[in-house]
Amino acid sequence: MATSNVEHYLEAIYVLSVETQNAFSARIAEYLGVSPPSVTQAMRRLRRDGLVEDDGAKAIRLTAKGLVEAEQVVRRHRLAERWAHDVLGLDWAECHREAHHLEHALTPLIEERLWQSLGRPTTCPHGNPIPGLSDSDAAALRTLAETPAGLAVVVDRVFEQVEGLGEFLHALEQQGLVPGTEVHVLGTAALGLTCKIGEHRIEVPLETARRLLVRPLPAETDRMP
């Protein structure tokens, strides 16, 4: 069984690979808040154990074995988030932080029973799919920043990479930019987007819009370029 330290690295590589397609050592260090030498040492161990390999462009890639273990960690993490948020009432940032502690303690039996007791969720509170429990098609998604003016979209998920940023998540909640919310993009500019949620107009900074994945409304699908 992988140690909690190894699991943190596998989780980081998984998230970065899904959200940016490239898990470079520098990005792993930034994501985990560790030093580059620590990442180098950890990657040496993960290569030895057959969990990662280089992709030829200096990025780290999970092997088939590593992907299985990473998905197990991410699944437990997102289930723990769902429990902490839905049952305990923790906010977005708190449930993410606490899930990092809980994910290492969940056995397969508890994981299964927890999923059942929560109503068989397919995503975490931030909208990210739970591996093995969701058939979400990411190909239909784009960032809010990539959405042209005049289109209506639905917030699908928040990038996992920013789930630990409390102030950022609180700002999203205050603006109503949560999964399932319909957003009408009124205009775009160099620094951000002007959007409408219900009857409220909001200004969304570009850096925020880049961290939100959205999906088109059924009526808008054919209009998406």
pLDDT in tens, the chain (225 residues): 467 789 999 999 999 998 877 899 999 999 899 999 999 999 999 999 999 998 766 889 999 999 999 999 999 999 999 999 999 999 888 998 899 889 888 999 999 999 999 999 999 999 999 998 776 667 678 999 999 999 999 999 999 888 878 888 888 988 999 999 999 999 998 889 999 999 999 999 999 999 999 998 876 544 444
Place of tokens 């932080």: 97
CA-to-CA distance for 152 and 134, rounded, in angstroms?
A: 24
pTM: 0.85
CA-to-CA distance for 14 and 77, rounded, in angstroms?
A: 13
Q: Using the 8-state DSSP alphabet, how is residue 129 labeled?
A: B
DSSP 69-128: HHHHHHHHHHHHHHHHHHTT---HHHHHHHHHHHTTT--HHHHHHHHHHTT--SB-TTS-
Q: Matching CATH topology for 4-62 and 139-223?
A: no
Q: CATH for 4-62, among 3.40.50.2300, 3.30.565.10, 1.10.10.10, 3.20.20.10?
A: 1.10.10.10
Decide: residue 106, CB within 10 A, 0-12 exposed, 13-18 middle, 19+ buried: buried
Q: Which residue in 95, 47, 103, 98 sits closest to 74, CA to CA?
A: 103
Domain segments of the chain as ranges: 4-62, 139-223
CATH number listed for the domain at residues 139-223: 2.30.30.90
